Structure 1
Amino acid sequence: MDRLDREILGILQQDARISYRDLGVRVGLSANAAADRVRRMRRDGVIRGFTVLVDPAADTRGGLVVFIDVTLRLDTTNDAFEQAITRLPGITEAVHVTGAYDYLVRARAADPAALDVLLRRLKTEAGVAQSSTRIALRAANRPDRI
């Protein structure tokens, strides 16, 4: 990856629906050259997919947004954990992190009872040995987004 690839990634993270023409203009490439770079990054696994961000005002799901720090059991691999959480409802993101925990998981639960079920399933189905859960109250930098 070079400087242009990183610049393209930054733009796509802000607007994944940008046209190749507009993307090319922003980074100084033709539409075809920009498209080729995006296709190469998708093929190489740098870009694994595109995300839809839902406006919270239009989101009628409600419930709790939670952040769960997890430590894996010694017999659980990262790959096994990552595969297992794809089958668990409510998990919106999992990031492998440094520090005291192995992963930071972001999830949505309808209520405390649903959160309890999710935490139990993380331990029984995804190989989690220990967890620490925080409930999001609001986002300080973007109060309209949680």
Structure 2
Amino acid sequence: MGFSDRLRGWFKGEGKRSSPSKATAPASRASTKELEEFATTRSSVEAFLEPRTAIYSITLLLVADDGEYLRRPIGDAKQARELTGRLNLPLYDAARVGYPKRMRDYDTGKRPNRLRVEDMPPWPGDDVGSDGPPPPPVPPAGTDE
């Protein structure tokens, strides 16, 4: 491709890149499918709608409870609302609320401390003897109960 071909292409509005990257590509069925798969295979997923910038198109960012995230292009805010409504996900405007700290922690390698059932103290009802539950507390002297 010579200089005159590039100049002619520039005047026609043709870009330098032949195919857009994933971040700048318009929403496709594949990207929507990836978002759906991420939302259904992770727990406590939240959606963040990122505005269009000079470099990137409108994107939808899904963040799981452990901070793992997936960012894909989405057509517009209406399509994002439909997708999150269908998947029953809360949708936030990233320009207004920002990004969750757990997402940054995930990038740095910090993992949340998970509380397991085995780590919980015993349930008080499990150790009730044959006498039954303990009596109710006695009110202090001098009250009108």
Question: Who wins on radius of gyration, i.e. which is larger?
Answer: 2
Q: What is the TM-score of this pair, normalised by structure 2?
A: 0.25
Q: By percentage of residues, which structure has more strand?
A: 1
How does the TM-score come out when normalised to structure 1? 0.25
